[in-house]
Chains A and B, each alone.
Chain A
Amino acid sequence: MHRADYVIKRGFFALVTVFVAITINFFLFRVLPGSAVTDLSRVPHATPQLRRALTVEFGLDRPKWEQYLLYLRNLLHGNMGISFAYQQPVSHLLIADLKNTIPMVTVGTFASIVVGVVSGVLSAQRRGSVPDHISTNIAIFAYAFPTQWLGLMLLILFAGILPAGGMENQFLLTPEPFWQHLGDITTHMILPAATLMLTAYGSFTLVVRSSMLETMGEDYVLTARAKGLSDRLIVWRHAVRNALLPMVTLIALSLGYIVGGALLIEVIFSWPGIGLGMFTAIGQRDYPMLQGGFLILTFSVILLNFIADLVYFRLDPRISE
Chain B
Amino acid sequence: MSLQVADPQAAGAGRRAGFLLDVLRERKAAVIGLSIIVFFIVLSLVAPYISPHSATAQTCAVYAPPSLHHWLGCDDGGIDMLSEIMQGGRISLLVGFAATLVAMVIGGGVGIGSGYFGGWLDALLMRITDYLLVIPDLVFMMVIADVWGASLFHVIMVIGILEWTTTARIIRAQVLSVRERVYIKRTKGLGASNARIIWRHILPQVGPLLIANTVLTVAIAIYLETALAFLGLEDPSVTTWGTILEHAFNRTAVSSGAWWAIVPDGFVIALVIVGCFLFGQAIEDALNPRLKVSHFSMRRWQLRPLVGRGPGAI
Give B231's nearest chain A residue, CB to CB: A279
State whether A146 touches B245 (Cβ < 8 A): yes
User: Residue B68 at the A interface, CB < 8 A?
Assistant: no
Say which one of B93-101, B188-196, B206-214, B294-302 lies at the interface with A: B294-302
Q: Which residues of A contact B274 (CB under 8 A)?
A: 140-141, 144
User: Residue B39 at the A interface, CB < 8 A?
Assistant: no
| B-facing residues in A226-285 (Cβ within 8 Å) | 231, 234-235, 239, 253, 255-257, 259-260, 263-264, 267-268, 278-279, 282-283
Q: Which residues of B contact A256 (CB under 8 A)?
A: 134-139
State whether A301 touches B134 (Cβ < 8 A): yes
Cβ 8 A contact of A216, one of B230, B255, B277, B294: B294
Q: Closest CB-CB distance, A138 to chain B, in whole Å?
A: 11
- A145 CA to B270 CA, complexed, in Å: 5
- A235 CA to B298 CA, complexed, in Å: 10
Q: Which residues of B contact A282 (CB under 8 A)?
A: 142, 146, 231-233
Using A268-B249, A278-B142, A297-B139 as known contacts, say yes or no to A156 and B254 having CB atoms under 8 A apart: yes
State whether A290 touches B146 (Cβ < 8 A): yes
- A255 CA to B245 CA, complexed, in Å: 24
- A149 CA to B244 CA, complexed, in Å: 11
Using A264-B230, A298-B136 as known contacts, say yes or no to A231 and B259 having CB atoms under 8 A apart: no
Q: Which residues of B contact A13 (CB under 8 A)?
A: 130
A-B contact count (CB 8 A): 167
Cβ 8 A contact of B147, one of A36, A126, A221, A279: A36
Q: Closest CB-CB distance, A190 to chain B, in whole Å?
A: 17
User: Residue B307 at the A interface, CB < 8 A?
Assistant: no
Q: Which residues of A contact B80 (CB under 8 A)?
A: none
Q: Which residues of B contact A145 (CB under 8 A)?
A: 266, 269-270
Cβ 8 A contact of A148, one of B130, B249, B277, B291: B249
- A17 CA to B129 CA, complexed, in Å: 11
* Central interface residue in B231, B259, B297, by most chain A CB within 10 Å: B231
| A-facing residues in B120-158 (Cβ within 8 Å) | 130-131, 133-140, 142-144, 146-148
State whether A267 touches B231 (Cβ < 8 A): yes
Q: Which residues of A contact B138 (CB under 8 A)?
A: 256-257, 259-260, 263-264
Scoring B residues 258 to 280 as 1 if CB is less than 8 Å from chain A, else 0, what string do you get?
Answer: 01001101100111011001100
Give B253's nearest chain A residue, CB to CB: A152
- A21 CA to B134 CA, complexed, in Å: 10
User: Residue A48 at the B interface, CB < 8 A?
Assistant: no
State whether A294 touches B277 (Cβ < 8 A): no
Q: Which residues of B contact A219 (CB under 8 A)?
A: 295
State whether B273 touches A144 (Cβ < 8 A): yes
Cβ 8 A contact of B254, one of A28, A152, A216, A253: A152
| B-facing residues in A104-138 (Cβ within 8 Å) | 125-127
Q: Closest CB-CB distance, B299 to chain A, in whole Å?
A: 9
State whether B136 touches A259 (Cβ < 8 A): yes
Using A21-B135, A146-B223, A225-B295 as known contacts, say yes or no to A153 and B262 having CB atoms under 8 A apart: yes
Scoring A residues 284 to 298 as 1 if CB is less than 8 Å from chain B, else 0, what string do you get?
Answer: 000100110110011
Cβ 8 A contact of B143, one of A216, A259, A291, A301: A291
Cβ 8 A contact of B144, one of A28, A150, A221, A279: A28
Q: Closest CB-CB distance, A90 to chain B, in whole Å?
A: 14
State whether B295 touches A149 (Cβ < 8 A): no
Q: Which residues of B contact A287 (CB under 8 A)?
A: 147
User: Residue B251 at the A interface, CB < 8 A?
Assistant: no
User: Residue B83 at the A interface, CB < 8 A?
Assistant: no
State whether A141 touches B270 (Cβ < 8 A): yes
State whether B298 touches A148 (Cβ < 8 A): no
Q: Which residues of B contact A21 (CB under 8 A)?
A: 131, 135
Scoring B residues 221 to 243 as 1 if CB is less than 8 Å from chain A, else 0, what string do you get?
Answer: 00100110011110000000010
Give B138's nearest chain A residue, CB to CB: A260
- A289 CA to B274 CA, complexed, in Å: 36
State whether B136 touches A152 (Cβ < 8 A): no
State whether A17 touches B131 (Cβ < 8 A): yes
| A-B contact sample (13 more), CB < 8 A, given A17-B130, A28-B144, A294-B143 | A20-B131, A29-B147, A32-B147, A146-B230, A149-B262, A213-B294, A214-B3, A216-B294, A231-B296, A234-B296, A260-B138, A294-B142, A298-B136
